[in-house]
Every structure is written in C-alpha cells, then in structure tokens.
Structure 1
Amino acid sequence: MSIIELGEIRDEPASAPPVRTPRAVGRPLRSAAVLLLALVLLAGATPPPRRTMSAVPASPAATAYLAPDAVYLVDPPTPDQDRYLTAYAQPASEGAGLRRRWRAPVPRSENYLGVRVEQGLVLAVGVEAGAGVFETTAFDAETGQQRWRHPGAPVPIADGGLLLTDVRQNGTDGMSRLDPETGRALWSVPMLSSTGPAFHLSNGRIDRFVLVQPTGEVQVHDAVTGRLLRSVDTLPGDRRALQRVQVVDDLLVFLPAEDAPVVGYGLADLEPRWRATMSPVSFVVGCADLLCVSHQGGNLRVLDPATGALRWSDPGEELLVDVRGDRLLMSGSGRQFAVRDAATGRTRTELGDWDLVPVLRPTDPLVGLRRGDDGRTVVAELDLAAGHARILDLLPDVAGSCQASLPVLLCQRLDGSATLWRLRQ
C-alpha cells in the first residue's frame, strides 16, 4: 500500500500574531493535482483481481464432473469395494474450500459417462460393463437420496420432464417419458432402428423427436405427450438402405450411409424440399441462416436450407468444430484454429494452436488451453465475434481433463489430483 506524506500538523502558540492569509492564486489547480496524484497512487496500491484455487478432495483415479454450483466425484471401480458419488459445493467466497454436501452409493459395475443436474436432480449416467446398456440413476440434489434408477440416457424436454433413450442389443429399444420427481414412466414409444432419434429444440429444450424405422417410415412425435404427429415413407424402392436423420431448425435432413443424395424435408409437413448429391456426410448443423454440411475428412459445404443450393464450399481438410452466430470455428492440422464467416467462407482471423475445453452449456464462452514456454498452461477465451483469443490466466501443473464454465475451470493436475480454479477476468 502506498502512503502519501501530507506533513505534520502543530498547534500555533497562543501569543503568535495573526497571520494574513494570502490570496489563493493557483491553489485550486495545485489541489486538483495533489488529489489526482493521490487517486493514482491509491489505485496502484489496490491489488489486481486474483485467481482462487480449491483442491478437490479425491483420489487420483476418481472422476470429477463440473456443475453450475457444484463438483461431483465418482469413485474409481474396485473389485471388492463400494463406489460412491460425492457432491461438493463450490466455494462461496474467496479463500473458502469445497464443502461436502452429501455422499451416496452408486452401482459398482458401471462405467460412468457423465453427471449433470436437471430439475433438482443429479443424474449419473453410466453404461453397464460388457452389455453396453445405458442406465441413469437420479439423486436429490440437496440431500443425495436416490430417487430412481432406469435404463437409458436422459434429455430434458420442453415442459420440464425427462426423456430417456434406451438402446439395447435385443431389439427392444424405446423412448420413454419420466416424471422426474418419482421416476414413473408416463408413456413409451418403440424405437426399432439402431440409428437413434433426432431432436428438435425450442428454447433449448426438446419439443419433438424423430424416429426412423427399419421399414423407411419416418415418424415425428411430440416429446411431451409421445403422440405421433406425422409420418412419411422415405424408402419405397429399397428397404435395405440405412438412413440417419438430423433436425436443423424446421428442416429434417436425411443422411444416407452410401453415396446417395442428401435430402431435405420440411419438419412440419414432411414434404421433400431439395436433394443434393455429395460424398458421405458426418453431420449437418445450422450456421447463421445457412446449413453447414461437414463431410468425412473435411470438405465443408454450406447450403441454402430452403433450396439446397450451394453457397460456398472448401475442399480442404479443415474440420468444423463450433458455430457461434455467423462465425465458424475451424480446426486444421496441429490443432490450428481459424475463424470463418458463415455467409462467405472468408477467413476472418487465425487463432493459433489450442486444445478446446468442454463447456457446461452451449452458450458458455469457448475456452482454449495450450502449453506456454515456461511450462505453465495458458488459458484463453476464444471470442469468435471479436476474432481473438483473450488470455485469462497462466496455471501451473495442469495435466488436462479440463471442464469450464467461465470464470470456473476444473482440471486434473500433474500429480493426479483435481483442482477448481476461479479465474481472474
């Protein structure tokens, strides 16, 4: 802290004659200058925002999962010991550590793929070792009490309920709607194809899902009621063809497994809008008001979703990684990232070499990591709209396995432990 010396104040002797105060010529300017100097010095004495870090109390083999206000740990599998899911509250103030909320047993034989919070529940999603069957166990987020356990993987739907997708090897696949509070199944729809469902989102929640049956029949269902809204037969000539579908806004896109036309249907009426012949497609995604089609091994095409007309294409090997507004994040060789304009394909800027960190929500800022020259890990926000990587911090001893929801970052350290950082911004 800086100290400003203002001099010493003394009482004048009572016998001292009165002194005439001189006229204050220039005093306001000198006072303003002293005040400005004091403010500058005091501002320099204020410490800059610091990062805080909290060690996650877990064995190196445990798996940590980040949530908006918590960290969840799943114990490693052992042949003869029980396994537990432990919930820790994130620090509420600087310097505070993680506070354990609760600890609950979980099935020992499962490989856990994720832990997340939905509708006041903590959902632990695992897959049974050897069988490949997904299973979801729901715990009360406040107490850790187990509410229910069902086969399938959950997704949230528009009215606050949960939809479970249960895919099995014996052909008894299905979609089920559960009451989150009780786990009671409200309805189920058989799903006979191994390609899985496609979902339509409204305000980030699923309101419709699409199933492709082996016969070629495509069915659109209401996700809240399970009611069949409409269907169409898309394989009148060849019942053996394997089809995948994806939903992009109001468009249903059919992606054949072989060299066959990609077909766009209107989701509302299931009427064909266009078809385009192209090489095998990995996925399609909306990009601004267009349709980005990512092919296997690169070769990005951008289409008009209304007509299927080609707007632009890039035959190179860059892969589409993410879309934010009208900007595309592309990854080339050596993890080199570039930002492109969705409308024209023009490269806006090169962001450099980064490892992209998984984030909690699709709207969370993109976070990149890379190793600095001094061995520390550089953490940056990849801002596609501004076209630059904004450096947030330099962290020591980071090994990887990071998750982010800025300003919070959860990573595994070189000694195998996990640490939660709240970064300075």
Structure 2
Amino acid sequence: MTGPVIDLGVLRHGAEPDPDPSPRLSRPPRANGRRLRCALVLLLVLVTLGAAAAPPPRRAVVTLPVPPGADVLVDGDLLLSIESTGASTLRRRLAAYRLPEGVPLWQAPLSAEARYWGLTLLDGMVLVTGYEIGPGGRGTLTIALDRATGAYRWQQPGSGTELADGNLLLQSGGEGEPVGLRVVDPCCGTVRWQVPPTADVEIQHAGQRANRVVLYRRNGPTEVRDAATGAVLARADLRPPGQGPLDFAQVLGDLLVTMGGEPSTVTAYGLDRLDRRWSVTVGPVEFATDCGVVLCLRTGANELWAIDPTTGVTRWRSDRWRWGWSYDGRLMVSADGGGPLERYLVLDALTGRQLADLGQWQLYQLGVGGKLLGTRRHPDAGVLVGELDIRAGTVRVRDVVPAATGECQAITGNLLCATPDGSYQLWALPD
C-alpha cells in the first residue's frame, strides 16, 4: 500500500490545456455500446459493494509486558528494558523479551545503584551505561551483560564508543571535569591502554567507530592519538595568541576546530599534523558541527553561520535556525516548534536558500543512515507517522497509530510506542 504524499516546497506545473477546446461532433451511440457501459457500471457496483462488505485488514499490534517508565531498546528480535526492581528508582534490572511475540527471555539485576540512561549492543554484549550515585561512588559507569543470557561480564568506569578494531573506548569524567580514557576488550573488560583524567577529549569517527582521539588542555598542549593503540600522532600548543586559555576544541571531519582568545576566534587545524588552516572571528560559539560542504557554527548571538571548511570564508548566516546537520547530501535545519516538536526545513548548504519546509515532527531514524520517520499527535487521537524524504523535500504519510502517546522508537518496519496506560505496543508499519 502506498500512502499519500504531502508535497512541501516542490513546485509542480498544472495539467496541459486541451489544444483544441472546441466542441466535437460524434455519431450517436449504438445499442451494443450502451449494453457494454451498463455491464461495466454493474461490475463496478458489485466490486464496490464487495470491498465495503469485506472486513478491514487486521493491524499487526503486539502489547509488550514492559512496566511503565521503563527505558527500552530494540535490537533485531530482542527488546531490552531497564526496569525498576522495587520502591527505589536506583535499583534497576535489565529484562529481555523476544519479538514480535513479547515473550520474556531473561532478566538480570544491575550491579550498581545508578540513574541508567544508555543501552548499546556490541560483540554479543549488552552495555548498560548510567551515572552511579550510590554508596559505592559517583560517576559514569558501564556494565556489560551477555546478550543471549543476561549473565554479568564486567563493569568499568565511563561511557563507551566502539573502535575501528572492535575494542571499546570508555570516557570517564566530563561536565567540567577532566576526562579519563581507557580502551578495553569488550569480551572481558581487559584494559588495552589508558590515560588518567588530565584533559578534555574529542573523538574522530570512521563511519560509526572511533578512529582517533584528541586530548586538549585549556592551558597546555593538544595531542592526537591513535584510538586503537594510544600512540601520539601529533602534538602542538593550540592556545590562542597571548597564551589565553583554549575554550574548546571539536573534531569536524578532518579538521580540529578550536575557539578562544579575545575577541573570540575560531581556528581550524589539520588533524594529521595539527597545522593551522584558517581563522575567523565570530564571537562566542555555542557549538560547531559538520554540515557536509560547510561547517555550521551556532553563535552566542543566536545565529547559525555556514563556514567554508577549506578557506574559513563565511558562506551565509541567519538568526532563523537553531541548529543544522547534513543528511542525504542536503542541509537540514531546525526552528522552534510547538512543545516537544521541532520544525524542520531543508536548505541549500552553500547559499542558505530554503528549499522545503517539512513541518513539525519528532524525528526517528531507522538504523544508521536509514530513513527518517517523524511522529506528531493526530488531532483526533493517536500519532501520525510520516516518512521524510530530505532530497525531494517531501513527507509521505505512513500510518496513524491510534493508541499511542508519541513516545516512540523507530525499528525497521515497525514503530514501538508508549500507550496512555504506560505500556508499550509494537506496530507494524505499512509499506
């Protein structure tokens, strides 16, 4: 079944006019033509009545035995749920259910009192990340459990990023504290190399995996290290002129972008040798991100700047957009929406020209690099589901999920949504 398409931001020409609109003469209809038309009309009536009498197709809906307030993640045929074990919200367990039936498979207590917020699947393990606040200590930690059985494997401080060689990079600290690094084997937690908490950290990714790490200090040298071995690849003092503190550094593609000094200056360095490429004064910067053919800077003056990554030349700037990112060769930006919704638009990255307005949605992505789905409350109840085609600038309505509150997670071919009573239901999306 193909849903209707809402065409947003795409101009279409009207139908071609009849080149000869004058009335035409025709011979009177013959009797056999009337009989044929009557037969066709009767056939159409019968087909319509038959379709109306047929029961509507049953929707594939599964109610899952997950308690209200749980944090859930779906991986293939497995649904994982972080659930409370009693009166204390800090005592949690991880439960696994087989999809699509929702049959319980196993449950395992989590070994530390913490506010858990992350679930990651890696090399047959389930990595549960949270912030420990119990009597055993304070700080971020990761617990590894066996995906098939829930058996406890190991526990380490920090939150994890997968490396290109399959090992796991764990970062501890943050939130104004120096970040410590350790790389461990996911099978058993064996430490491969580590750095004590002495610096802030940025990571370069090759696809979805960490490739290199940057350790920078506000009043000291900056290092680029190989993420697999910890070997130092480049080292330099990147503090701004006058030796003022370095406010922040950020990896954007093959560049390391820093900000600091008076007035506030953004400077780009090549990540291989930390060689200076360009510098531009823009005032305080809240964040920077790779927007494909440009770099996006969000300034303290509530402006979004598009910077040429090769020369540092400002391509355009606007106070209309909150933030931007590259998707499918286009630049998506967001503006203020209504409540939890964001308004999404598509721009030409080099000029800032608006190409399409996609409307207000909560966005979900179907896997890495997969399709974008948007949800929003339907006026009559439930949740409207749309598929966003960024390159075409269109939204195709995929479904209306009647018993959902809008707390959803996209899975290939399915949508997992919370219901008003706090339970979860899995809805099969139509093609």
Same fold flag (TM > 0.5): yes
Offset at 1:75? 1.3
Task: Report the counterpart of residue 211 of structure 1 in structure 2.
Answer: 215
Task: Report the counterpart of residue 59 of structure 1 in structure 2.
Answer: 67
User: Given that residues 139 and 173 in structure 2 are in contact (C-alpha distance below 8 angstroms), is that contact kept between their aligned partners in structure 1?
Assistant: yes
Cα deviation code 1:198-223 (max 9, x no counterpart): 11111321110101124331110000
Per mean C-alpha deviation after superposition, the further-off stretch among 61-70 and 339-348 is 61-70
Offset at 1:348? 0.8
User: Given that residues 121 and 138 in structure 1 are in contact (C-alpha distance below 8 angstroms), is that contact kept between their aligned partners in structure 2?
Assistant: yes
1:417 aligns with 2:423: yes
Task: Report the counterpart of residue 302 of structure 1 in structure 2.
Answer: 306
SS for the counterpart of 1:167 is strand
Task: Measure, in 2, the Cα distance between the counterparts of 1:285 and 1:210.
Answer: 16
User: Given that residues 411 and 418 in structure 1 are in contact (C-alpha distance below 8 angstroms), is that contact kept between their aligned partners in structure 2?
Assistant: yes
> Cα–Cα, structure 1 residues 241 and 276, in superposed 2: closer, same or farther, change >3 Å?
same
Task: Report the counterpart of residue 95 of structure 2 in structure 1.
Answer: 86
1:371 aligns with 2:377: yes
> Cα–Cα, structure 1 residues 326 and 83, in superposed 2: closer, same or farther, change >3 Å?
closer
Offset at 1:78? 3.7
Task: Measure, in 1, the Cα distance between the counterparts of 2:86 and 2:106.
Answer: 21
Offset at 1:400? 3.0
Question: Any gaps of 5 or more consecutive residues in structure 2?
Answer: 1-35
> Cα–Cα, structure 1 residues 77 and 246, in superposed 2: closer, same or farther, change >3 Å?
farther
Task: Report the counterpart of residue 126 of structure 2 in structure 1.
Answer: 122
User: Given that residues 191 and 213 in structure 1 are in contact (C-alpha distance below 8 angstroms), is that contact kept between their aligned partners in structure 2?
Assistant: no
> Cα–Cα, structure 1 residues 257 and 397, in superposed 2: closer, same or farther, change >3 Å?
farther
SS for the counterpart of 2:303 is strand
Task: Report the counterpart of residue 268 of structure 1 in structure 2.
Answer: 272
Task: Measure, in 1, the Cα distance between the counterparts of 2:164 and 2:107.
Answer: 31
Q: Which has the higher contact order (CA 8 A, sep 6+)?
A: 2
Task: Measure, in 2, the Cα distance between the counterparts of 1:250 and 1:327.
Answer: 20
User: Given that residues 50 and 423 in structure 1 are in contact (C-alpha distance below 8 angstroms), is that contact kept between their aligned partners in structure 2?
Assistant: no
Offset at 1:47? 9.3
Return the letter of the residue paired with 1:102. Answer: W
Correspondent of 1:189 among 189, 195, 216 = 195
1:347 aligns with 2:354: yes
> Cα–Cα, structure 1 residues 256 and 84, in superposed 2: closer, same or farther, change >3 Å?
same
Task: Report the counterpart of residue 326 of structure 1 in structure 2.
Answer: 329
Coordinate RMSD, CA, aligned: 3.0
> Cα–Cα, structure 1 residues 420 and 298, in superposed 2: closer, same or farther, change >3 Å?
farther
Cα deviation code 1:151-192 (max 9, x no counterpart): 110100001110101117997741111011111111102341
Return the letter of the residue paired with 2:377. Answer: R
> Cα–Cα, structure 1 residues 185 and 250, in superposed 2: closer, same or farther, change >3 Å?
same
Per mean C-alpha deviation after superposition, the further-off stretch among 295-304 and 394-403 is 295-304
Task: Measure, in 2, the Cα distance between the counterparts of 1:309 and 1:50.
Answer: 57
Task: Measure, in 2, the Cα distance between the counterparts of 1:326 and 1:168.
Answer: 33
Offset at 1:107? 3.1
Query: How many pairs does the alignment contain?
Result: 382
Alignment of 1:247-286 (within 5 A): 247-256=251-260, 259-286=263-290
Task: Measure, in 1, the Cα distance between the counterparts of 2:289 and 2:279.
Answer: 16
> Cα–Cα, structure 1 residues 231 and 407, in superposed 2: closer, same or farther, change >3 Å?
same
Correspondent of 2:394 among 388, 393, 396 = 388
Task: Measure, in 2, the Cα distance between the counterparts of 1:51 and 1:256.
Answer: 56
Task: Report the counterpart of residue 235 of structure 2 in structure 1.
Answer: 231
Offset at 1:83? 3.1
Task: Measure, in 1, the Cα distance between the counterparts of 2:315 and 2:104.
Answer: 54
Task: Measure, in 2, the Cα distance between the counterparts of 1:327 and 1:161.
Answer: 33
> Cα–Cα, structure 1 residues 108 and 235, in superposed 2: closer, same or farther, change >3 Å?
closer
User: Given that residues 326 and 343 in structure 1 are in contact (C-alpha distance below 8 angstroms), is that contact kept between their aligned partners in structure 2?
Assistant: no
Moved over 6 A (4+): 43-50, 168-172
> Cα–Cα, structure 1 residues 374 and 211, in superposed 2: closer, same or farther, change >3 Å?
same
> Cα–Cα, structure 1 residues 399 and 237, in superposed 2: closer, same or farther, change >3 Å?
same
Offset at 1:355? 2.2
Task: Report the counterpart of residue 171 of structure 2 in structure 1.
Answer: 165
User: Given that residues 219 and 245 in structure 2 are in contact (C-alpha distance below 8 angstroms), is that contact kept between their aligned partners in structure 1?
Assistant: no
Task: Measure, in 1, the Cα distance between the counterparts of 2:343 and 2:185.
Answer: 45
1:156 aligns with 2:159: no
Question: Any gaps of 5 or more consecutive residues in structure 1?
Answer: 1-29, 92-96
Offset at 1:369? 1.2
Return the letter of the residue paired with 1:103. Answer: Q
Return the letter of the residue paired with 1:342. Answer: A
Per mean C-alpha deviation after superposition, the further-off stretch among 344-353 and 283-292 is 283-292
What TM-score does the superposition give when structure 1 sets the normalisation length? 0.81
Task: Report the counterpart of residue 20 of structure 2 in structure 1.
Answer: none
Task: Report the counterpart of residue 24 of structure 1 in structure 2.
Answer: none
User: Given that residues 292 and 331 in structure 2 are in contact (C-alpha distance below 8 angstroms), is that contact kept between their aligned partners in structure 1?
Assistant: no
Offset at 1:240? 5.4
Offset at 1:116? 1.8
Cα deviation code 1:6-47 (max 9, x no counterpart): xxxxxxxxxxxxxxxxxxxxxxxx9xx99xx99x97x97999
> Cα–Cα, structure 1 residues 49 and 293, in superposed 2: closer, same or farther, change >3 Å?
farther
What TM-score does the superposition give when structure 2 sets the normalisation length? 0.80
Return the letter of the residue paired with 1:306. Answer: T
Per mean C-alpha deviation after superposition, the further-off stretch among 255-264 and 413-422 is 255-264
Per mean C-alpha deviation after superposition, the further-off stretch among 344-353 and 279-288 is 279-288
Task: Report the counterpart of residue 397 of structure 1 in structure 2.
Answer: 403
Task: Measure, in 2, the Cα distance between the counterparts of 1:256 and 1:351.
Answer: 36
Offset at 1:297? 6.3
> Cα–Cα, structure 1 residues 362 and 419, in superposed 2: closer, same or farther, change >3 Å?
same
Task: Report the counterpart of residue 105 of structure 2 in structure 1.
Answer: 101
Query: Aligned residues: percent identity?
Result: 35
